[in-house]
């Protein structure tokens, strides 16, 4: 016969703290806006293309605020139970195990739902009570309602470029968040980021950023998504490690973003011209 239910042991809150300051260079006033939202207990939506620094920004802000950061990579199989928690049978007893959202509420952490539109719409509804003046989290399976402490914050992110009828935020969810737009940094700033993160010199970083900007222009000619700052850094790391610069650009910046052979050839020509 199963024994009485208890709460399972959780990782200490220190496990979710960012110990080392992440490298982040602000593009605008996003830091001030986020800090104001945190002080006013407002949930934040980060909108921008893949690899434009949204996750790094969240890590940076969690470090600055000295709050634990609980990150959830959303996907189409993510359920409300995955976020809230579930009962687990251990031996002859039943224990409750908090999901990441519940864990963040209990600890007054920042909960970050990355690429939130990938999750099912009926799953996202569970965050609604935490995004208005109530700031509560009902846990029906336990018959309790958690009140979020003042330190708790909810943040989400998604890429508007991938919006569709199937994968988009409902207005009932969208209008619960203040929104900060992200985009790729200006060329000079992006060059400094690439040089710092990859270890290449500024001249090589400038070449990579130049290639990246020219590739992004292909979005008007069949390319679904431009090359991200992240991929520029990947190319730089390969070059720093001794890979031929042209080859590094092809395998880190071209092949990941398109399988269209005509587009690949056109972009390869750009790389060969710049990397002469």
For residue range 12-37, what is the model confidence (pLDDT) as tens digits?
Answer: 667 899 999 999 999 999 999 999 99
Q: Cα dist. 209→187, 196, 221, 252, 274 in Å?
A: 7, 13, 20, 13, 11
- Note the pTM of the prediction, 2 decimals: 0.88
Average pLDDT, the chain: 90
Is the predicted pLDDT of residue 177 greater than 50, yes or no? yes
Q: Cα dist. 133→51, 101, 129, 151 in Å?
A: 32, 18, 8, 14
Closest CA to 8 of 72, 88, 102, 105: 88
Q: What percent of the chain has pLDDT over 90?
A: 78
Mean pLDDT, to the nearest integer, of 71-82? Answer: 94
Closest CA to 239 of 230, 226, 252, 228: 252
What confidence tens digit (pLDDT) does each residue in 40-58 have?
A: 999 999 999 888 999 999 9
- Return the number of other C-beta atoms located less than 10 Å from residue 214's C-beta: 16
Is the predicted pLDDT of residue 162 greater than 80, yes or no? no
Q: What percent of the chain has pLDDT over 70?
A: 92
Confidence class for position 80, pLDDT limits 50, 70, 90: very high
In the structure encoding, which two tokens stand for residue 86, read together? Answer: 């579930």
C-alpha angle with apex 42: 36 to 44, nearest 5 degrees?
A: 90
Higher pLDDT, 165 or 18: 18
Closest CA to 41 of 19, 17, 72, 67: 67
Closest CA to 240 of 198, 193, 196, 191: 198
Helices (H) and strands (E) in the chain, counts: 11, 10
List the domain boundaries for the chain.
Answer: 3-181, 187-274
Supply the DSSP string of 60-109, one letter for each residue.
HHHHHHT--EEEEE--TT--HHHHHEEEEEETTEEEEEE-HHHHHHHHT-
Is the predicted pLDDT of residue 169 greater than 90, yes or no? no
Is the predicted pLDDT of residue 129 greater than 90, yes or no? yes
Domain 3-181, CATH 3.40.50.2300 — does that match? no
What confidence tens digit (pLDDT) does each residue in 197-256 have?
A: 999 999 999 999 999 999 998 876 667 788 999 999 999 999 999 999 999 999 999 999
Mean pLDDT, to the nearest integer, of 94-122? Answer: 93
3: part of which helix (H) or strand (E)?
strand 3-7
Most confident of 160-164, 194-198, 212-216: 194-198
Closest CA to 69 of 118, 20, 117, 30: 20
Closest CA to 105 of 58, 70, 54, 65: 70
Ramachandran quadrant class, 31 (left: phi over 0; alpha: psi -120 to 50; beta: rest): alpha
Is the predicted pLDDT of residue 135 greater than 80, yes or no? yes
């Amino acid at each position: 016969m199963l024994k009485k239910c208890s709460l399972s042991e959780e990782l200490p809150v220190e496990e979710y703290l960012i110990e080392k300051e992440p490298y982040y260079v602000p593009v605008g006033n996003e830091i001030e806006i986020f800090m104001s939202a945190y002080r006013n207990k407002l949930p934040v939506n980060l909108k921008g293309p893949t690899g434009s620094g949204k996750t790094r920004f969240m890590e940076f802000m969690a470090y600055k605020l000295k709050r634990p950061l609980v990150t959830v990579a959303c996907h189409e199989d993510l359920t409300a139970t995955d976020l809230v928690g579930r009962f687990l049978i251990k031996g002859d007893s039943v224990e409750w195990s908090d999901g990441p959202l519940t864990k963040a509420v209990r600890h007054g952490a920042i909960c970050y739902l990355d690429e939130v539109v990938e999750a099912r719409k009926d799953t996202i509804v569970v965050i609604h009570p935490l995004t208005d003046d109530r700031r509560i989290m009902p846990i029906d399976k336990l018959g309790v309602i958690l009140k979020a402490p003042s330190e708790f914050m909810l943040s989400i992110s998604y890429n508007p470029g991938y919006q569709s009828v199937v994968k988009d935020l409902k207005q009932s969810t969208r209008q619960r968040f203040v929104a900060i737009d992200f985009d790729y940094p200006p060329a000079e700033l992006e060059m400094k980021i690439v040089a710092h993160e990859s270890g290449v010199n500024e001249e090589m970083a400038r070449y990579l950023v130049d290639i990246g900007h020219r590739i992004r222009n292909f979005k008007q000619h069949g390319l679904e998504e431009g090359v991200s700052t992240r991929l520029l850094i990947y190319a730089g790391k390969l070059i720093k490690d001794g890979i031929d610069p042209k080859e590094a650009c092809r395998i880190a910046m071209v092949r990941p973003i398109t399988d269209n052979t005509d587009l690949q050839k056109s972009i390869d020509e750009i790389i060969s011209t710049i990397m002469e």
